[in-house]
Amino acid sequence: MRLSPSLTPACLALALGLALSTAGCVYRVNISQGNYIEAKYLDQVQVGMTRSQVRYLLGTPMISDPFHPERWDYLYYFKAGKTQKVDKRLIVIYFADEKVTKIEKPESFLDPTVPKTPGA
């Protein structure tokens, strides 16, 4: 079957229009890694708490360095697929004699924003 020469430009224009209209429809997945920690739980961690109490509130730390057993690092990384915005958080808990001695967190710690639906 052979197309007439007058239809060829129309087919090309249609194919080009279809390709351009679907180019912006790329779905990018959200990337979430590490320990998602809510502010209400972090605010409950206080100096003098035991390791098990901290683990109960915040979960197992992302990094538990065998060379620095007195330090727990809670790391969180979130990259929104739609906007490509990156949110990084680092919370460090220091221990001495199995008790919390120091808590390092971002100055204004707010709950990380994770969309409820994929791609939202």
Sketch the domain layout of the chain as residue ranges: 27-104
Q: What is the CATH number of domain 27-104?
A: 3.30.1450
Q: pLDDT of the chain along its 120 residues, tens only? A: 565 555 677 777 777 777 666 666 678 888 888 888 888 899 999 999 999 999 999 999 987 788 989 999 999 898 988 888 888 889 999 999 999 999 998 876 665 555 555 554
| H-type alpha helices, 1-94 | 7-23, 39-42, 51-58
pLDDT of residue 37: 87
Sequence letter at residue 47? V
pTM of structure: 0.66
